[in-house]
Amino acid sequence: MGFGDYPAEYIPEKHGPYDPARYYGKPDTPFSQLKLSEVPSWFGRRNKTPQAFAGACSRLFWRWQHKYLQTKRVGVAPFFQVVAASMVFFYAINYNRIKHHANYKYH
């Protein structure tokens, strides 16, 4: 499987048109339905390669696009989500420079 190819689990005859927001692998128990004793084995079944992480990020992006950007009437929610995410990101990368500007009551 190379960069830009369909997932190996995708079968056009079985699944129909390709949807980038869908996971075509074997379905597993959702994390919210696990018992505490099943969590380690659930994490053991995950694919932890960089390619699997990139695929998960791609599915997350496409699901967000389908829900907020590719609707009939797009509202202001995606704009505010991008603004809030960028504020958190820039605060995190500049934290070491701004932590010294705290206002202390006693010097």
DSSP structural state of residue 52: H
Q: DSSP string covering 2-43, please?
A: -TTPPPTT--HHHH-S--TTS--S-----GGG--GGGHHHHH
Angle formed at CA 92 by CA 43 and CA 94, multiple of 5 degrees: 150
pLDDT number for residue 2:
67
Instruction: Decide if 75 contacts 25 (C-beta within 8 A).
Output: no
Q: For 49-80, how does the pLDDT look when each residue is reduced to its tens digit (9 = 90+)?
A: 888 898 899 999 999 999 999 889 999 999 99
If you average pLDDT over every residue of the chain, what do you get? Answer: 89
